[in-house]
Amino acid sequence: MTDSRVINGVVIDDTFAEAFPMKATRLIVTAHNMTWARHAAASATGFATSVIACGCEAGIERELGPEETPDGRPGCSLLIFSMSGKELAKQVERRVGQCVLTCPTTAVFAGISEGEAIALGKNLRFFGDGWQISKLINGVRYWRVPVMDGEFVAQETTAVTKSVGGGNLLMLATDTEAALHAAESAVAAMKRLPNVVMPFPGGVVRSGSKVGSKYAALSASTNDAFCPGLYGLVAKSELTPEVRCVLEIVIDGLTEADVGAAMRVGMDACVEIGAAGGMLRVSAGNYGGKLGPYHFHLHKLLDAAGGKQ
């Protein structure tokens, strides 16, 4: 740990989160009521915590009122991120086909119009076995596929945009209760912002990783420097004896500014809890700046938000 700042008793490390370029799209899933929109959204964004093994990172951006959706029904906005447009297209088709088409009363629409087009309903229409029909409205094509509860409506394509993945915060606390409170508060603050998702369960990950492993088959392994159970055993621990729990939040956003804004409000939430609430330090994970072109320096984010020592 190098130079740091202390706000409300919370140490903010002089370090940075290292993030990577990704490709993303936004989908709008609507349904007869919010219950079924949520069911489809949750299913479509499941098993999407990390591109390391899931193929994509995804989450529910926010819930939408009828006045915000193309068909005037309640819905959810989803953000899906992947490392390439080709993989993103594969993930979108599989997830919409298996999780939205299958869910009662749903429809799906593009939430981004600018960018390279990938299939949304374009191929899923063939499920209609020849009974599917299309409609062109204001130059946009939609497909109507007959299903047992009526019809599934899907916009033909959605757009892919450049995005940023891997922004992060590490929250170091006195115990599990304090760390969970800080993480939950930070995630709640981030969710109030547009254009970002936190893809891990509840927005939080406890298995932060480092690059490499003693086992040749693994490209990543536990971040031992931040494991309280290994304090005093590893050569380069980042912890002190008071830290008994560390949790991480990973943020994916449509732009660099979106990720930075989410990290800022996350830090604010941690600082508000303060040392009195068991919040000891805020840090971030990086790879020495060698792998990702986006570097989110915690002190610069504080300065931009007006944070003071």
pLDDT of 211: 86
Q: Is domain 23-161 classified as CATH 3.30.70.520?
A: yes
Of residues 210 and 265, more confidently modeled: 265
The CATH number of 4-19+163-305, from 3.40.50.150, 1.20.120.160, 3.30.160.150, 3.30.70.520, is: 3.30.70.520
Longest pairwise C-alpha distance within the chain? 67
Q: How far apart are the first and last CA of the chain?
A: 17
Structural domain spans, the chain: 4-19+163-305, 23-161
User: pLDDT of 136-195, one tens digit each?
Assistant: 999 999 999 999 999 999 999 999 999 999 999 999 999 999 999 999 999 999 999 999
pLDDT of 1: 45
Give the C-alpha separation, 112 to 38, whole Å: 20
CB proximity list for 228: less than 8 A, separation 6 or greater: 239, 243, 244, 245, 246
Is the fold of 4-19+163-305 the same as that of 23-161? Answer: yes
Asked if residue 2 has pLDDT above 80, the reply is no
pLDDT of 3: 65
Give the C-alpha separation, 158 to 27, whole Å: 8
